[in-house]
C-alpha cells in the first residue's frame, strides 16, 4: 500500500492483462520452440546424406538415381543446386532473396511473440515455416563456393507420364516444411476469418 491509499500495481504474468514480460516469447510456446531445431537438423542431415551418396555413386557429377518408377509416378534422387526459389525463379537474385528470407525470419519471430500461447496449432505451423527458412538460409550462408554460389541443395524430384507428362520442382525437407506450413497457415487464417464472421447468439439474461 503506497502513501495516500493508492495500491501498488504488480506486473501481471504472461497471458494476463497488463503483462508484457519477456517470457511471452517462451512461456507456453513449446510447440514453436521444440519442433524447429529438430526439423532443421533433419533437413541438413538429409541434404548431406543424399549429396554424399550421390557424389560417391556418380563421381561428383550431377546424377539422377531412380528410386521408384512407374508410368503414373517416378521418384528420383538428384543433386541439383538452386540459387533462386521454386522452379529456379529469380536465380540471378540470390542475395536479394537472402535478405528477404532474413526479414521473413525476423517477422516470424515477432509473430510468435504476439501470438497467444493458447493458439497451439498456429505456433506449430509457424515452427514448420521457421524451420524451412532456417534450413535453406543455412545453405545460402555456408555455400559461397558452390556452383552456383550460395545455392540451396535440392534432392527430391518427382515426375510422371500419365495422364500427361509432368514434373514437380526438385525440393528438400526445408521446402516441404515451408509448403506444409504455408498451407496450414492459410487454412487456419481462413477458418478464423469464417469464425469471426459468424453472428454470435445473444445470451439471455
Residue with cell 514434373: 167
Residue 14 lies in a domain: no
pLDDT > 90? residue 93: no
Residue 55 lies in a domain: yes
Task: Give the residue numbers marked as catalytic.
Answer: 154, 175
List pLDDT tens digits, range 52-78: 999 999 987 788 999 999 989 999 999
Residue 20 lies in a domain: no
pTM above 0.75, yes or no: yes
* Omega before 163 within 30 of 0, i.e. cis: yes
Residue with cell 540470390: 94
Residue 203 lies in a domain: no
Q: How many domains does the chain have?
A: 1
Apex 179 CA angle, 132 and 175, nearest 5: 40
Q: Which domain covers residue 151, as residue numbers?
A: 29-194
Residue 42 lies in a domain: yes
Beta strand extents in the chain (DSSP E only): 64-69, 74-82, 152-160, 166-171
Q: Give me the pLDDT at residue 98, please.
A: 93
Residue 128 lies in a domain: yes
Amino acid at each position: 500500500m503506497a502513501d495516500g491509499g493508492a495500491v501498488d500495481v504488480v506486473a501481471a504474468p504472461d497471458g494476463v492483462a497488463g503483462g508484457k514480460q519477456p517470457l511471452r516469447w517462451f512461456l507456453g510456446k513449446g510447440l514453436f520452440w521444440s519442433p524447429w531445431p529438430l526439423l532443421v537438423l533433419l533437413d541438413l542431415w538429409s541434404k548431406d546424406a543424399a549429396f554424399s551418396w550421390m557424389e560417391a555413386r556418380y563421381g561428383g557429377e550431377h546424377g539422377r538415381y531412380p528410386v521408384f518408377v512407374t508410368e503414373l509416378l517416378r521418384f528420383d534422387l538428384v543433386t541439383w543446386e538452386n540459387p533462386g526459389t521454386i522452379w529456379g525463379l529469380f536465380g540471378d537474385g540470390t542475395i536479394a532473396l537472402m535478405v528477404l528470407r532474413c526479414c521473413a525470419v525476423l517477422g516470424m519471430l515477432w509473430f510468435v511473440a504476439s501470438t497467444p500461447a493458447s493458439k497451439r496449432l498456429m505456433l506449430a505451423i509457424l515452427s514448420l515455416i521457421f524451420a524451412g527458412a532456417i534450413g535453406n538460409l543455412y545453405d545460402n550462408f555456408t555455400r559461397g563456393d558452390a556452383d552456383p554460389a550460395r545455392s540451396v541443395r535440392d534432392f527430391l524430384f518427382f515426375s510422371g507420364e500419365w495422364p500427361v507428362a509432368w514434373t514437380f520442382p526438385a525440393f528438400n525437407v526445408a521446402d516441404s516444411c515451408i509448403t506444409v506450413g504455408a498451407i496450414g497457415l492459410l487454412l487456419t487464417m481462413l477458418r478464423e476469418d469464417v469464425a469471426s464472421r459468424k453472428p454470435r447468439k445473444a445470451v439471455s439474461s
